[in-house]
Amino acid sequence: MWRYAVRRLLWIIPVLLGVSLVTFLLMHAVPGGPWDQEKPLAPQVVQNLNRRYGLDRPIWQQYGMFLARALRGDLGVSYSYQDRGVTQIILSGLPITASLGALAFAFAVVAGLGLGMAAAIKQNTPVDYLSVLFATSFASIPGFVLGIFLLILFSATLHWLPTGGWGSWKQLVMPVLALGALPAAYTARITRASMLEVLNQDYVRTARAKGLPEVAIQYRHVLKNALIPVLTVLGPYLAFLVTGSFIVESLFSVPGVGRLFVQGVFARDYGLIMGSVLFYAAAIALLNLAVDLLYAVVDPRIKYA
């Protein structure tokens, strides 16, 4: 397993290089620049700023300078927050984004597994129908649409929850629900289908014939063997939720990395855009690797040669 993990870690290097190159080229291909404002700056001021940040050099030189700094752990400077580096800015929003993503992921796992298991065990009953209704409804609603609905219901109409911010538990409720509802719905669907397939296996009937308690059968034999397809679904969602959602963080004014990235895009902050994209790419690659390694923990029959 360790050799497999090392190979996967080494493959992350060319992936990050490819992501950085594509992002860099697309970023500079978009019309405009970081100094475009409602009140235009004087040409001499723009020229001095370009010279200071190296934007007057050819594209290949600018990319080479970025790579040289990135290899030293320096993602450059932000044009919007000139008193702080990109690394410092990302690290300031990372704890908030990770906390929000972890809470949304925990909600998705608990709600999805619970509803999926209940639907499979109580197949063709009202519990099953309600679970399928939940999964079908929320799987078709994007997070930002659900977030707007939650704002209208709980903030504008009922006045139960604040519209945004970060710090109190009331400010967590709507972002967590908006982020976690869709993965919870998909998890419920996959869990139900996987458990129904396992419930028809011969070893489950053998366990019941031996007189094992139903609870032990469901958790020890059925759920554990049904988790492989569920982990396959949860892997990308774990990476997505922990790294944050751009639109949901902006919608609820959560000061995380996602909101900083959106602000960087609107401000054409090249340094912040490059740093955020590389951070997301590295986080997704590492979290997907962690989920792949969990396969062998859940099912000992899986070996990484």
**What is the CATH number for 210?**
1.10.3720.10
Tens of pLDDT, residue by residue, the chain (305 residues): 778 788 888 888 899 899 999 988 888 887 777 777 666 777 777 788 778 777 778 888 888 888 888 888 788 788 777 667 888 888 888 888 888 888 998 999 999 988 988 888 888 889 889 888 888 888 888 888 898 999 999 998 888 999 888 888 888 999 999 999 988 998 999 988 888 888 777 777 777 787 777 777 777 777 777 777 887 777 777 777 766 577 888 889 888 888 888 888 887 888 888 888 888 888 888 887 887 777 777 666 666 66
Per-residue buried b or exposed e for 98-125, using 16+ beta carbons within 10 Å of the residue's own CB: bbbbebbbebbbebbbebbbbbbbeeee
pLDDT at 243: 64
pLDDT at 71: 84
pLDDT at 260: 82
- Give dist(CA 112, CA 148) in Å, integer: 22
User: pTM of this prediction?
Assistant: 0.79
Q: Which domain holds residue 268?
A: 1-305
Tokens of 1: 């397993």
pLDDT at 293: 78
Number of domains in the chain: 1
pLDDT at 231: 77
- Give dist(CA 96, CA 90) in Å, integer: 10
